[in-house]
Structure 1
Amino acid sequence: MKQILNLILLALILPSCHPAPPKEEQPTVLVSRAEFDLEKVNFQENVPRLYSKHLLDSNDLQIDTAKGNPAKQVSRYKISNVMTDALKIKVPQQDFGYLYKSPQLDSVAKFQNIRFGSLQILCQRDKKPVAFYAEAEFKEAKLRKKCLDDLQKKYGKPKYAFFLESGFDVCSYEWVLADRTIQVETSYSVGVRISTDGNSGSIKTYKLDMLIVHNPAKEALYNAHIYEFPDRILYDGKLRNLKELQLQKKSTFKDDFLLHSTNTELIKNVGGIYDIPSSESDQN
């Protein structure tokens, strides 16, 4: 009887002795179909190593990584638009860090069932990542909606949801987690299909852009988008005051790394003008 009991006990113990399946490791270099998992980032990634094969310069041209060290050619983080160029100002005013950008690479990154075709990683001066920005495209709205539904199923209702623009149905959703903030922006674009068989026409592409920001860096990242002007600015060969140029003393310059929730106008949402219409929610 004692021998039978020992055999039963051994049978119960043995399954627990089986080794756990190995954890799927993150790719160390970004290449086509690398599927770098954005859901698993820990903000300790070796970013120069990730971009050691594919890296864009400040003009979005591919750097020849075979010639020299691409890490030395990485771009300083710079916010650039028509106004910054016209006023000849540098934003951020203080050096923030580096921006690593990949060219278009099939499934270079993923988040759950979303596959992204490009990935940018923003680092502070120590080259530790503080934000990830990735872009994906879908041929059908229902496929994108399924991905959004999966996000909400896991992370719950977003803390913020904004209807930003009606022209291309631009919507934004933001989840604030313990250590990171995830923002998803959806929109669509229209292209032209040219065919010799008479089937030419327009093509609608459904876009999904994801921004992941490390919460401890959110304030510093937001401040990097603010430029404090002097009382008078040299513009078009003449010193002009801020009122003349319709500028605020402290102005915020937007780019892909600015969370929409930093915009107080969106948060206040007077009259509900930024509420996402139910028709858009159904499509997105």
Structure 2
Amino acid sequence: RPGCPGHTTWGEMWVRILAVLLRLAQAVAWLFHRVVGPPRSLPPRTLLEFEAEAKRRLGATSAAFFYFSYVDGEGLTLRRCREVYDGIRLVPRILRDVSSVDTSTEAFGSKLRLPVVVAPTAMHRLATPDGEVAMARGAGLAGIGYSFNWMLSNRRYDEISQEPGVKWLHLYIYEQRDLVQRALELAASKELEGVFSAVIVTSDHPHTRVQDSVVPEFQRSWYTSPVDLSELVFPNQVACGMPPMTYLDMLRMSSEELQNKSGRNDRKLSFDFIRWVKSQTNL
């Protein structure tokens, strides 16, 4: 009875009922979250949306996101590239039969479902533990080309090469021609027969940009990376007879030490080198 000692008032009773209902709602929400999962947003569709998703997953200030997103100088080249990309216009064609559309094309004797190729990019394991294996698998499923990067960071070399799809062998241009020759011989070896259909060469290697910009950033904050940098290896180097090296080893080297151990990029690069590469392989 209201007002009597030891008795609950109507107001207090309703407060307790609401508290029980609130706890029940929280329990139902928790159970729904465990069974159904968190609410899902639409997957990224544009390049900028993918960049925003990468920033969210890797962390905007992480060394890993910096590696994939850094720009040199004031970023003029990046801005101009985006301006050119944004300037591309697709001319609409209406009143056309689109019941059967073919977006495929052929490049260097291989058919691509889309006219897209994954450019040579290193250190995929900074983004995901599967690294280059996941990228090669995704490219194969999408029917696009995949550049087998020289500086790949994954020990699972065989898995990458065995994923279906179009693959091109990527090379850096070293003064030590024997290193390049060994890489070409490896690509044509029996165990990799039929894996590669072409060779793609980096012709504008940034000699100072990586050493002066990227490496110091990793030296400062490498511990924020999602994987242990001592596990990021360069199996292509070992395959070509060079000593084993991890990414953490690379961070501890001077520019001179790095070039002596991993190959010195040739600053005399010209079309003569391209002709020499063609003479060394049937790819």
User: How does the TM-score come out when normalised to structure 2?
Assistant: 0.26
Q: Which has the higher strand share?
A: 1
Q: Which has the higher helix share?
A: 2
User: How does the TM-score come out when normalised to structure 1?
Assistant: 0.26
